[in-house]
Structure 1
Amino acid sequence: MEELLDPGLGRVRVFLKHDDNKPRKLKYNLGHPRLLTFGGAYSNHIRAVAEAGRRHGIETIGVIRGEEHLPLNPSLAHAVACGMTITYLDRASYRLKHTEEVLAGLRARWGQDIAILPEGGSNAAAVRGCAELPGEIGTDYDVICCPAGTGGTLAGISAGLPEGKRALGFAVLKGAGFLNGEVARLQQEAYGRTWANWSVNLDYHFGGYAKSTPTLDRFIAKFRVEGVYVAKMLYGILDLARQDAFAPGTRIVAVITGRPLPRL
């Protein structure tokens, strides 16, 4: 791991752990011959499922929010190149993708035997995969931080923490107070219990899902951050450190999730 160096951190130390959390979420979700999942047109999750399908010989279907646009963007083109079948749901139907009516329609079209994975891949199996992350950290730390979109990564990290450590998720969505209930729900589904060693910060969404501001853009350029969600987390850590929100000497591991789009 590399250390993030910035005068604003004071006596707080931040170590960067590069970790693509998508394979972790999928690790215990791949025991099916056919897998359907959801995502936006630039979804890292869609790409990860397509890649996993190619590696493991699994048929994959990606249900994309909105209408078809041709030519495909690089993210969807990569998914198709991996063998994924792409289909679309209009935005009104997509908002109801968790309902029995929409799910029944998808099963009627794609087969009753198909396994359906939620958007972002966050379910009980994903939590168990993400719970393995803390055990792979080889340096001493007090807090693990991660971006929080659907709550699965945070739920798993919290469940895998040693005694006395804490997890802090930085919501990348506006109005993400629902994450508090969602993290607890995911832990309950995965382990039949919840943990009290985590929290969600809602103050650094910078306008909402996939959105940025000139301030965040300058931060991304200064620190050469890859990914707006990671940038929101790192900005939040630095800003909280400047406000003395962390005790002097606190050692933080910041999980750098995701990875660049591979070249076709």
Structure 2
Amino acid sequence: MHRWQQLYDRAGASVLQPVRHALLDHHGLTLHIKRDDRLHAFISGNKWRKLKYVLRQALSERAAGLLSFGGAWSNHLHALAAAGQALGVPTAGIVRGEPEYAGNPTLSDARAWGMTLEFVDRQSYRRRHEADFLAGLAARHPGFYIIPEGGSCVLALPGVAELWRELPPCEELILPVASGGTLAGLLSARPGRTRVTGYAVLKGQGWLADTVHGLYAPAAHDPGWQLRLNHHGGGYAKCSPADRAAITELSEALAVPLEPVYSGKALLGLFRDIEAGHYAPGSRLIFLHTGGLQGARS
């Protein structure tokens, strides 16, 4: 546990950065960006927060290792591998995709940090929640602590909820949403004055809200949040050349580094909604930059 405490005592400066843009002035809005991308060089952004108490639990159980799931460019697997190396704990990643992806920058980093990779086809990957599939993994990796995809589990929520202590009052907290754990964690401690808006970065129609409810059941009856489902750009990790150019332009205008999978896509969606008049004049907005800049290398 001492290693865990040392790791989490070394957090970087997640500053609240004010930004200016003509569109904000035109609509009478103020916007700050919560720079969680600066929390840690490799255990980035929301992964730093989501893994906090998951890692503590695994260490308290004296787990033989850490195992989780992700795609070939997974920020979560990248962060987990870095955390495992820092804690001296073996890691294993179940990767959706073909073995030739092992040489990409994300998985090369993970392997360099000691993570063993097992590639599975998409049909097998869909079984990652099934008891018999998980039992097979447990048999092949005895004593490993199994963490859901994206680190999204009930133990992830309190680490995310701690974010509220670092924020000033605001009308809207806005963030990208994929596996739903960060959104659920924020809702678990949402101040009544603040509405939370999640921009889905994948096709989440019909199931993403249910995923959030599954992680934090009271969210099903909480009117203080919403999902924006029309800014996914065609699906997870899909980004047209026009959108990629728009994200680059926005990054330069706001002086904030962005990638096109999570924060870049969600921030572009936010500015398109601002242009459409979706946010009330006079509102104070905070956008949560969830990190993952390593994914820009794709």
Q: Quick one: structure 1 residues 71 and 255, their matched pair in 2 at CA, closer, same or farther if it must change by over 3 Å?
A: closer
**4+ residue runs over 4 A deviation:** 191-194
Contact 1:135 1:160 in 2 (8 A): no
The 2-side partners of 1:79 and 1:105 are apart by 23
More helix by share: 2
Counterpart among 241, 245, 248 of residue 281 in structure 2? 248
Instruction: Spell out the pairing of 1:146-165 with structure 2 (5 A cutoff).
Output: 146-165=175-194
Using structure 1 for the length normalisation, give the TM-score.
0.91
Worse-superposed segment, 84-93 or 249-258: 84-93
> Which residue is equivalent to 1:129?
159
Counterpart among 46, 51, 60 of residue 26 in structure 1? 51
Instruction: Spell out the pairing of 1:204-215 with structure 2 (5 A cutoff).
Output: 204-215=231-242
Number of positions where the alignment pairs a residue of Structure 1 with one of Structure 2 = 259
Counterpart among 138, 161, 166 of residue 195 in structure 2? 166
Aligned CA-pair RMSD: 2.0
The one-letter code matched in structure 1 to 2:100 is H
Structure 1 residue 242: deviation in Å? 1.7
Instruction: Spell out the pairing of 1:1-264 with structure 2 (5 A cutoff).
Output: 1-9=16-24, 10-19=27-36, 20-30=45-55, 31-32=57-58, 33=63, 34-69=65-100, 72-111=103-142, 113-137=143-167, 139-188=168-217, 195-224=222-251, 225-228=257-260, 229-261=262-294
Unaligned runs of 5+ in 2: 1-15, 37-44, 252-256
Structure 1 residue 71: deviation in Å? 5.9
The 2-side partners of 1:198 and 1:98 are apart by 27
Contact 1:158 1:166 in 2 (8 A): no
Structure 1 residue 110: deviation in Å? 1.1
The 2-side partners of 1:133 and 1:150 are apart by 18
The 2-side partners of 1:96 and 1:70 are apart by 21
The 2-side partners of 1:149 and 1:67 are apart by 22
The one-letter code matched in structure 2 to 1:236 is G
Worse-superposed segment, 53-62 or 41-50: 53-62
Q: Quick one: structure 1 residues 29 and 41, their matched pair in 2 at CA, closer, same or farther if it must change by over 3 Å?
A: same
The 2-side partners of 1:227 and 1:157 are apart by 22
The 1-side partners of 2:219 and 2:212 are apart by 13
Structure 1 residue 192: deviation in Å? 10
| Overall identity of the aligned pairs, in % | 39
Contact 1:28 1:126 in 2 (8 A): yes
Q: Quick one: structure 1 residues 93 and 43, their matched pair in 2 at CA, closer, same or farther if it must change by over 3 Å?
A: same
The 2-side partners of 1:11 and 1:44 are apart by 35
Map Cα deviations across residues 130-174 of structure 1 (whole Å, 9 max, x no partner): 11112111x331111010001111111122222211110000002
Unaligned runs of 5+ in 1: none
Contact 1:184 1:194 in 2 (8 A): no
The 2-side partners of 1:119 and 1:147 are apart by 16
